[in-house]
Amino acid sequence: MAVQWYPGHMHKAQKEIAEIMPQIDMIIEVLDARIPYSSSNPMITKLRGDKPVIKLLNKRDLADPDLTSRWVDFLEQETGVRALPVTTQQPAEVKALIETCRKLVPHRDQMGKNIRAIIMGIPNVGKSTTINLLAGRIIAKTGNEPAVTKAQQRINLQNGVVLTDTPGMLWPKVENENSGYRLAVTGAVKDTAIESDDVGMFAADYLLEAYPTLIQKRYGIDQLPQTGWDLLEEIGRRRGCLRSGGKVEMNKAADLLLHELRAGTVGKITMETPEMVTAEEAEVERV
């Protein structure tokens, strides 16, 4: 796939984070609840040592609730972190994070010292929105542009926690091709990186298998086709994505599906399960 995560950039971020680590008590990683594996940063596991980690499964409003609770169990049991599903649409959920920080680092709290937490996340998972909610004011720029935090920022939340915002831009899982597609489906990487009909087809294939009923309902298709390509064509036909002559314009159909998927209009959808990624990891190791 064509996404470029410049090695120089990655190297610099890793070095800067490694340098800060000795002054950090715990790590908060913001993830996208629709892709808790693909939106995670592979470096954090390495740099973590034995520091407590909270994984915020943000955008839970868009994710499949059953799978979100399976992901929470999996992350807590398999990787020994605390996993909290949240949506920034419910600020109280995000703010409850502070209590969890206190529980995870009780000795700092008991000594009357601030808990020093670092917050990390790949672009577009909602890290800036989360920081602004925790701080109660606008500190980080939000929006869809993957802005780079130029310098390391330290924010005193005035509640016993001091938050360090990660400098530089963190990269997602790139060695797994499926992760690349899932990041594109959820909008974490820009559409231009991979052809939209490829991304649309990846989404259509997965939806046919994992969420057939939601697709039937949303697009009024009683008899679902066998393949993602045929599904896209059917959606395009029904939604008028047509060229002159009546042929379906496939990239328009793909854009339409992706747009509705990202907006949550198709339903609450999670793009990967713990079982899927465990199998994929085993496959990567085997090759």
Which residues make up the interface to ligand GDP (CB under 6 A)? 58-59, 61-62, 87-89, 121, 123-129, 142-144, 146
Query: Which residues, 6 or more positions from 273, have their beta carbon under 8 angstroms from its beta carbon?
Result: 67, 70
Query: Which residues, 6 or more positions from 275, have their beta carbon under 8 angstroms from its beta carbon?
Result: none
Write down how long the chain is.
287
| Structure-token pair, residue 101 | 């920080």
The distance of Cα 193 from the centroid of its chain, to the nearest Å, equals 17
How far apart are CB 163 and ligand GDP at their closest, in Å?
Answer: 13
Q: Which of 169, 138, 213 is nearest to 10 (CA)?
A: 169
Is 121 or 167 the residue whose CB approaches ligand GDP more closely?
A: 121
Is 102 or 262 the residue whose CB approaches ligand GDP more closely?
A: 262
How far apart are CB 121 and ligand GDP at their closest, in Å?
Answer: 5
Is 93 or 198 the residue whose CB approaches ligand GDP more closely?
A: 93
Q: What is the DSSP string of 134-188?
A: HHTS--S--SSS---B-S-EEEE-SSSEEEEEPPB------SSHHHHHHHHHHTS
Sheet holding 53-58, edge to edge: 82-85, 53-58, 26-32, 115-120, 161-165, 153-156
How far apart are CB 220 and ligand GDP at their closest, in Å?
Answer: 25
Dist. CA 72–CA 218, nearest whole Å: 28
Is the distance from CB of 144 to CB of 124 less than 8 angstroms?
A: yes
How far apart are CB 250 and ligand GDP at their closest, in Å?
Answer: 27
How far apart are CB 146 and ligand GDP at their closest, in Å?
Answer: 6
How far apart are CB 153 and ligand GDP at their closest, in Å?
Answer: 12
